[in-house]
Amino acid sequence: MGISNLQEKLNEGKFVITSEIGPGKGTNLEFLKEAEILKDKVDAFNVTDLQSSVMRLGSLATCHLLVEMGLEPVFQITCRDRNRLALQSDLLSAYVLGIRNVLILTGDHPILGDHPETKPVFDLDSVSLLKVASTLMEGKDMKGNQLDGKVDFFLGAVVSPGYEPLDLQIIKMEKKIEAGAKFFQTQAVYDLKKFEEFMKRIEKYKVPILGGIVLLKSAGMAKYMNENVAGVSVPEKYIEMMAKAKKEERVKVSLQIGAELIKGMKGLCQGIHIMPLGWDKYVPDLLSLSGLI
């Protein structure tokens, strides 16, 4: 298999679209039908790695299934559950299974999930794992031992444009770039003014940024994120729009807000990353309203 199609499209200056898939809690593969629906509408599918520290079907196996379906996965790998031996081994395994995009995260603490008594590993963090992945691409493991066949990945990382103080995010982002990150997906963006300021600050790095889109399901969800999710700030106007919407109108209003954000981002960044959180079936409508399909 050749290089990442996602990388090629970004290199060509195309505005790319990625969407997130959360594997199910069990062996039922019905969730893959959502990916099939989006086949010609998005450029790649992020597969979460035990999102929110909840035990689920694995990201590696799901990515391989997407490859077999003719779809392009982005393999999310976190440092939470594996030591450095297993992390390196899984990266080698991903490559031989046809996976070319890797998004590296530190991961949520297990106390947040459905097995809170789990012992966290965190042998490495996201910056050190990016360095390890880059070393594997040079044909060596992290101890300098020669590999019999090297990997070739399009490495990505995450950044939070709304985080305060922003300087800390930019310092960490710089470290991730130095470690090998070639693209970034962001935390959910609702404040376009803050996002524009962030994009101006990081313009010098010349690295593709995919702005994060999370559809609001209610005014309560917006308030919860403002209070509990670092780096997320939902403006009052969007909270009011969701609060005033009748129950049967919420999806329509949410899609209007999402489309407004995407249109605002289009001139600022190199693509969008949609995190549907169970609303996968509305992604085509969102893309249509945004003028992307």
> Predicted confidence band at 107 (pLDDT cuts at 50, 70, 90)?
very high
Helices 250-265/236-244 angle, 10° precision: 150
Q: What is the pLDDT of residues 156-204, one digit of tens each?
A: 999 999 999 999 999 999 999 999 999 999 999 999 999 999 999 999 9
- What percentage of residues in the chain have a pLDDT greater than 90? 94
Predicted confidence (pLDDT) at residue 61 exceeds the cutoff of 60: yes
Q: What is the 3 state secondary structure string of the chain?
A: CCCCHHHHHHHCCCCEEEEEECCCCCCCCCCHHHHHHCCCCCCEEEECCCHHHCCCCCHHHHHHHHHHCCCCEEEEEECCCCCHHHHHHHHHHHHHCCCCEEEEECCCCHHHCCCCCCCCCCCCCHHHHHHHHHHHHCCECCCCCECCCCCCCEEEEEECCCCCCHHHHHHHHHHHHHHCCCEEEEEECCCHHHHHHHHHHCHHHCCCEEEEECCCCCHHHHHHHHHHCCCCCCCHHHHHHHHHCCHHHHHHHHHHHHHHHHHHHCCCCCEEEECCCCCHHHHHHHHHHCCCC
pLDDT the model gives residue 2: 59
Mean pLDDT, residues 234-259: 96
pLDDT the model gives residue 135: 98
pLDDT the model gives residue 4: 93
Nearest to 229 by CA among 157, 167, 164, 156: 164
Mean pLDDT, residues 90-98: 98
More confident residue, 257 or 3: 257
> Predicted confidence band at 154 (pLDDT cuts at 50, 70, 90)?
very high
Cα–Cα distance between 34 and 18 in angstroms, integer?
Answer: 13
Predicted confidence (pLDDT) at residue 33 exceeds the cutoff of 70: yes
> Predicted confidence band at 34 (pLDDT cuts at 50, 70, 90)?
confident
Mean pLDDT, residues 205-216: 97
Task: Give the fold, CATH level 3, of 5-289.
Answer: TIM Barrel (3.20.20)
